[in-house]
Structure 1
């Protein structure tokens, strides 16, 4: 029987999937993961930085104090990011800038075929092309100059439920994303298109191609302002707002 995720549960399910993705990323990079009841931390280096994934909306004073201490140590090494899908915890003491993005939910259902080639990245060339597309698309200056295999290590492809997808246009990798299927739920990360390929249907294509493996399960994601209309057209609905905290540029 196909599972139905209630909108009220979408934030929690997104929190769990995001933690699964970042823990997989940390393992593939050889970095440490710290797991607590209320948060998961993927502890990286001076370029990758450290990411905190809040798992619960009700951090105790001790849990918040530990997170704050870990973030202070991490910030001495590199950038810090924190995701609170519940928008329930005040992290202003970390001296990070904050912004909000909607958590969106799509129930199981069929999708159309993409209008261009979309394939799983399996070769080094595809993986490196996906890295470049995401770094350029998101302007991830922390990963410049680009070092092949740093953002998307080959070991990431061996992590259960993780896949990297690339869209090909005019013979070039024009966009990419990472998808994660965990605990019966799919989600997407880094849906990126370099500026040279934008407004040509690349983002839609890479989403459709990756959603083909999720037609029988629900899916969540956190959407940027620019991405939200695309996701709504694919059947996603907003269930709440996620607050993100980030080291100032």
Structure 2
């Protein structure tokens, strides 16, 4: 019987997602009972750490984390702390705004309420969404994610630099595109770890925002896994959409970045 909380389920999916990315790139990783770390190597890469379990004394966990980061000579870092008790400021880090860790139960449809049926501007063309199943499609996903966030360190996008074609052969890993009149304008990726499916890197090109593109691409990913619990971490802008899709908050994650210059990061 799975005794994990929904927050732990989401944390474990995020850790597994980054481990899958690491394997596709050939990156080093560390797994402990309380966190997972992936040494994302490359000029535009940021080492990733996901705290996966509650911890008692924050100082003890911090020393354990710092030992790994010192060994790796970490110069850029994104650390996700869903329990919010670490203070990484003494080590040159800066915390972003807290982000909701959200979960949708299997079979849960869009939520009701006054915002569920509100009208939005129609896409300027025919909107479709589906899976990217070949290297060309994955390159389009990468381009939309890089340009949609945007990720300055990855501009102009280089196909395969962030999402290598090997990810398409990774069990559980899938990529999704939304198109308007055949042009890729929205994207996300998903990872099924055998218990839950996590949705990541939801992005829409600026000129197509607030027209249902993000909803379409997320719904496509969710529809492919109707029997799975779904998890994600929501930005403030994305949270209302996810609530309308039936997600509920199970925690707030504090993301620490190093060095303390969020505008220069690629995450």
The reply to whether TM is greater than 0.5 is yes
2:86 alignment partner, SS class: coil
Q: Which of the numbers 75, 80, 83 marks the counterpart of 1:83?
A: 80
The reply on whether 1:146 has 2:157 as its aligned counterpart is yes
Q: Which of the numbers 26, 29, 32 marks the counterpart of 2:25?
A: 29
1:199 alignment partner, SS class: coil
The reply on whether 1:96 has 2:93 as its aligned counterpart is yes
Q: Which of the numbers 169, 180, 196 marks the counterpart of 2:180?
A: 169
1:220 alignment partner, SS class: strand
Structure 2: which 5+ runs fail to align?
111-125
Residue of structure 2 equivalent to 1:214: 225
Given the superposition, is the C-alpha separation of residues 93 and 156 from structure 1 closer, same or farther in structure 2, using an over 3 Å criterion?
farther
Structure 1: which 5+ runs fail to align?
none
The reply on whether 1:40 has 2:36 as its aligned counterpart is yes
Taking the aligned partners of 2:77 and 2:244, their CA distance within structure 1 comes to: 32
2:224 alignment partner, SS class: helix
Taking the aligned partners of 1:148 and 1:70, their CA distance within structure 2 comes to: 30
Taking the aligned partners of 1:73 and 1:147, their CA distance within structure 2 comes to: 29
TM-score after normalising by structure 2: 0.83
Contact 1:47 1:79 in 2 (8 A): no
State the superposition RMSD in angstroms. Answer: 2.3
Q: By how many angstroms is 1:73 displaced?
A: 5.3
Q: Which of the numbers 107, 123, 128 marks the counterpart of 1:109?
A: 107
Q: Runs in 1 of length 4+ with deviation above 6 angstroms?
A: none
The reply on whether 1:158 has 2:169 as its aligned counterpart is yes
TM-score after normalising by structure 1: 0.89
Given the superposition, is the C-alpha separation of residues 9 and 88 from structure 1 closer, same or farther in structure 2, using an over 3 Å criterion?
farther
